[in-house]
Amino acid sequence: INSMTIHNGLTRNNYYCHLEGENADLTLGGMAIAESKQHVDNYSRIEHLVPNCQSNELFKYVLSKQAQGAFSGRIYVAKGAQKTAAYQNNRNLLLDDTARMYSKPQLEIYADDVKCSHGMTTGQLDDEALFYMRQRGISMAEAKTMLSVAFTDDVVKLVHIEQLRDRLRDIIEHRFRGGCMRCGSCNICY
């Protein structure tokens, strides 16, 4: 499952995934880019109900200009779901001091032979990376765009269709350069 929120006002996405067949495999990837008081809220519940299943969840947010993001994800492992492998990751990039991120990754495990983990980080662009790029003649705006695009790329790589992946990269780069999805002045926007 792939979810990309690239331009929005107020968005809420809910994902309910039940792994009910042995050896089921789920990858849930999501990304959100928001600014100017926009709000993106993602909720997920992945239930491992039988043995030998795997899930991998990755959500990334890039927020600026009073945007707010929220992520609440729960991985549930039922009593009989031995040999479960479940991983949940939420990574967030705040481009200024006015953006806010609220994250609540959760594990609920009732089996004892599992490999499960969850994590969350929220931070800013790396000052050393920005300095390095500036020393090589790259403008501050271009350096921030390049780092922001690179931050989102591992979620885009989860898309299996090559043409769609390439199109998403173009749209994301355009979005970070200040383009809206309705500008009408280029061949990127709709």
Assigned domain for 73 exists: yes
pLDDT at 87: 97
Assigned domain for 186 exists: no
| pLDDT tens-digit map of 136-154 | 999 999 999 999 999 999 9
Assigned domain for 24 exists: yes
CB contact at 8 A, 53 and 25: yes
Assigned domain for 181 exists: no
Percent of the chain with pLDDT strictly greater than 90: 89
In 20-176, which ranges are E strands? 25-34, 39-48, 54-63, 68-77, 84-94, 100-109, 114-123
118-122 contacts, C-beta under 8 A, 24 or more apart:
118/73, 118/75, 118/87, 118/88, 118/89, 119/88, 119/89, 119/90, 120/71, 120/89, 120/90, 120/91, 120/92, 121/90, 121/91, 121/92, 122/92, 122/93, 122/94
Tell me the two tokens of residue 89: 């990751």
pLDDT at 7: 83
CB contact at 8 A, 45 and 15: yes
Tell me the two tokens of residue 149: 């695009």
Assigned domain for 110 exists: yes
At 133, is the secondary structure helix, strand, or coil?
helix
The chain-wide mean pLDDT, for the chain, equals 92
Using CA atoms, how far apart are residues 105 and 2, in angstroms rounded to an integer?
A: 18
The whole-number average pLDDT for the span 75-88 is 96
Please give the tally of structural domains in the chain.
Answer: 1
Using CA atoms, how far apart are residues 37 and 99, in angstroms rounded to an integer?
A: 8
Assigned domain for 190 exists: no
Domain enclosing residue 160, as ranges: 2-176
pLDDT at 145: 93
Assigned domain for 80 exists: yes
Assigned domain for 54 exists: yes
Residues whose CB falls within 8 Å of the CB of residue 148, separated by 6 or more in sequence, listed in order: 62, 93, 95, 125, 176
